[in-house]
Structure 1
Amino acid sequence: MAFDCYCAICGVGFCGMHIEAPSETALERRRRWIEKRCRALQAGKDLGQVSREGDETEDPVRSYDPRIVGWDNISWLYKAHCLGVNENAETGATKAFISDEGYYADIGEFVVKARSDGDRPRSQQVFSCYGHGSEEAPGPVLPFHWCCFEILIRTITGSTEIKNINLDVLYSVMTPLCNMSGSALQLSYGDDIQRAQGRYWECIPGAEYCATHPMDTPQLEDFVQENAETNSELKTPSAELDLRGREPASPFGRLPLEIVYQICMLLPGDSLKALAQASLNIHIVTQDNLFWKQFMQRDMPWFWELQAAKFQKVSHDLNYKKMYMWLDKMTAPRYGMDDLKLIGVANRRRIWGVCEELADRYSKSLKQPSVSSMQWGSG
């Protein structure tokens, strides 16, 4: 029985990508389809509820928007590698291996094409994804897109050097997460991915960000730089806090300022914003512009374009708190996203979140702390 398997890291498929032919009629139908579902999400409904309501007047839209993705920029999805083990490896040698580039061939099979190795031609290799193994590898192999693997290595080690990662440990922490269907790992890929992961990959209109290359973002750096320099909304100074007659009292007020600063720096963005609203002491500490510049770099390790030298030289009047809030909102992976400049980094942000789950398991398996998120940007 035919079925699709999905990338162990990003959760997206390796085939079956459908892009609608461009036409004004099709684009208008798509616009209505997505707008209706965006309203449903805003009302707290599930997208599945919309389809079950039975008031659809048009045929379902089951393809991606040609204005957002094209065959040239989704070709990365069709190219794959896999992580497996070779039980015949010499004693003391690494058993886990990464295959050459291959493709998903249906019914759970991953194929690496035959090629010549010097004077000795090598036969085609066939692996069993998430299954019980094959002649090529006795255990399940985990298929992935190469750029997703680079993001995973960067998340774990702070670089993209494969030599810095222990493949045996990585394999040992990933294989227990194989799901019951034998098509992916049990990881938080995101709601849109979970909806698309059926027997076959479903190209959900409005979720094109899932199929957008997370590393090939040529317009991104210039876009961020331009807004940092010209967006007046990001240069407005934060409002002065009037403390007349107010004596903030909280446990944080009894701690040295340096300790409070470090606590805030380690919090997730949403937690910090909530705490700043609840505690006047925290609100005061986080008024510092330098704090937000450092916090933005720590809280957005997936946004390594922020490390670009020219961004570090932006004018001194940039309000980094507003810059952080703006970037946090604009890069949030969400249904209906269509900004060509940011859609790639939104997918990268989603994949980074998945990789953090694996990085945590990897670090615990090695019995060592996770790599400092301040190491991002090196390659």
Structure 2
Amino acid sequence: MVATPTNGHTRQAPGTNLHMTTNHIGRANLSSVSQHEIIRAQREKWVAGRFFCAICGGPFSSQVDMDCEGTDERAYRFDILEHCNLEWLDELRALGINPDATGSDKYHDFAEIGEPHVFPFHSVCYEVLKRCISLRQPGEIQGNKLYQAFEQANGGRYVRLQLDYGKPDPPVEQVWETVRGQEILVVNPVDIPELESEINDIKCLLDTKTHLDIERKLHKDDIFSRLSIDLRHKIFKHLCPESILALKAASQIMHTTWVPRSMWDAKLVDTYPWLWEVLELSVPQSQEIEDKTSRLLLACREQGESTGRSYGYTLGLANRRRIWGVCEQIRSKYLE
């Protein structure tokens, strides 16, 4: 869904606003689901107020104010979000507890003491959280442990959890505030078309070049030919992933020097845990692939623009890294 301007300002095409009854994490008796179950929230039941995603701190509506001229401090810049699909903001899930699981659904005002909380979040953000937790503890997410992690971070009557939500810091007022320069907060952190396109290009090269191109004549003037294999391995140990790939792409000797898969995977997870598209790639098998992957990693590290100069590429990755930082905090509580 792409926004269209109207009289200098624009709103994302209509979506359903989510409303809560006060300004902190909600309470509910979700009697139609089992205890500690992830549920699909029913939008029409969230009324009279608003709070935000427990994971990213963002709103639950794709209707955001945008200014075509880029001069309004209380509106996002239209030229930045023009081609961004904001519908992911409308997709809501929630985590609640229902000890009895009997009777009809009944929602409670937050002021009522003793009722269990329900924690809402975007479906997209939950995908990021699952990936974050699975890096340290593979397997299905345990609802009871995740619920307790949310409870530990629920510091009181607030619109979000008591966590560091990174920069820019999402609004904490009861009503979402659109602030020029904070467009990152509403850009999809998972579906990044430009990144997907570059990853697909690398996958195509992997499919067509399934062997090491060792048939190429090794250059005797390659300075690394003077080093033993042990020394070459030690060099790799001190380099970040993109530097390893750049070195292998530049030197045929280093290209043919094997990098243990365990070391490569560990470096990727340590440096780019949030870049799962690269984590899922096979080990580069040609210097062309090494060069292309190195450039991609460098661009992702710097959150640089894609060749198409799309803001969505920069902001999507930046928002993913911001949300990943929140997920790591939740993961720490989950694994306690």
Specify the TM-score bucket, using the shorter chain as the normaliser. Answer: 0.5 to 0.7
1:16 Cα deviation after fit: 7.7
**What residue in structure 2 maps to residue 88 of structure 1?**
100
* 76-85 vs 65-74, which moves further: 65-74
User: Contact 1:189–1:350 (CA<8 Å) still a contact in 2?
Assistant: yes
Measured in 2, the distance between the counterparts of 1:344 and 1:176 equals: 29
The DSSP-based 3-state class of the residue aligned with 1:354 is: helix
Give 2:291's match in structure 1, choosing from 318, 324, 339: 318
Unaligned runs of 5+ in 1: 34-59, 91-121, 230-239, 242-255, 274-287, 365-379
User: Contact 2:163–2:326 (CA<8 Å) still a contact in 1?
Assistant: yes
Give 2:127's match in structure 1, choosing from 143, 146, 150: 150
**What residue in structure 2 maps to residue 171 of structure 1?**
147
In the alignment, structure 1 residue 9 sits paired with structure 2 residue 42: no
TM-score, normalization by structure 2: 0.58
1:17 Cα deviation after fit: 3.8
CA deviation string 1:321-368 (max 9, x = no partner)? 665443211269xxxx9622342232122111111111111112xxxx
In the alignment, structure 1 residue 306 sits paired with structure 2 residue 306: no
Instruction: Pick closer, same or farther for the CA change 1:319–1:80 going to 2, 3 Å.
Output: closer
Give 1:205's match in structure 2, choosing from 180, 189, 199: 180
Measured in 2, the distance between the counterparts of 1:85 and 1:317 equals: 48
Q: Which amino acid aligns with 1:142?
A: F
Matched ranges for 1:366-377 at <5 A: none
**What residue in structure 2 maps to residue 216 of structure 1?**
191
In the alignment, structure 1 residue 328 sits paired with structure 2 residue 290: no
1:12 Cα deviation after fit: 0.6
Give 2:167's match in structure 1, choosing from 191, 207, 227: 191
User: Contact 2:202–2:289 (CA<8 Å) still a contact in 1?
Assistant: no
In the alignment, structure 1 residue 61 sits paired with structure 2 residue 73: yes
User: Contact 1:154–1:160 (CA<8 Å) still a contact in 2?
Assistant: no
Unaligned runs of 5+ in 2: 1-21, 23-47, 205-222, 225-230, 244-256
Matched ranges for 1:105-184 at <5 A: 126=107, 131=110, 138-158=115-135, 164-184=140-160
Measured in 2, the distance between the counterparts of 1:213 and 1:159 equals: 24
Q: Which amino acid aligns with 2:188?
A: H
Q: Which amino acid aligns with 1:171?
A: Y
User: Contact 1:4–1:199 (CA<8 Å) still a contact in 2?
Assistant: yes
CA RMSD of aligned residues (A): 4.7
Measured in 2, the distance between the counterparts of 1:319 and 1:72 equals: 26
Measured in 2, the distance between the counterparts of 1:338 and 1:319 equals: 19
CA deviation string 1:217-263 (max 9, x = no partner)? 2221223566999xxxxxxxxxx89xxxxxxxxxxxxxx9989987x
Instruction: Pick closer, same or farther for the CA change 1:13–1:160 going to 2, 3 Å.
Output: farther
Q: Which amino acid aligns with 1:169?
A: K
1:319 Cα deviation after fit: 8.2
TM-score, normalization by structure 1: 0.52
Measured in 2, the distance between the counterparts of 1:126 and 1:331 equals: 45
Instruction: Pick closer, same or farther for the CA change 1:63–1:80 going to 2, 3 Å.
Output: same
User: Contact 1:9–1:148 (CA<8 Å) still a contact in 2?
Assistant: yes
Measured in 1, the distance between the counterparts of 2:151 and 2:232 equals: 45
Instruction: Pick closer, same or farther for the CA change 1:141–1:12 going to 2, 3 Å.
Output: same
Measured in 2, the distance between the counterparts of 1:299 and 1:260 equals: 17
Matched ranges for 1:328-347 at <5 A: 328-330=301-303, 339-347=311-319
1:63 Cα deviation after fit: 1.7
User: Contact 2:159–2:173 (CA<8 Å) still a contact in 1?
Assistant: no
Instruction: Pick closer, same or farther for the CA change 1:84–1:302 going to 2, 3 Å.
Output: same
1:7 Cα deviation after fit: 0.6
User: Contact 2:84–2:187 (CA<8 Å) still a contact in 1?
Assistant: no
1:186 Cα deviation after fit: 0.9
Query: Identity of aligned pairs, percent?
Result: 25
Measured in 2, the distance between the counterparts of 1:331 and 1:138 equals: 46
**What residue in structure 2 maps to residue 75 of structure 1?**
87
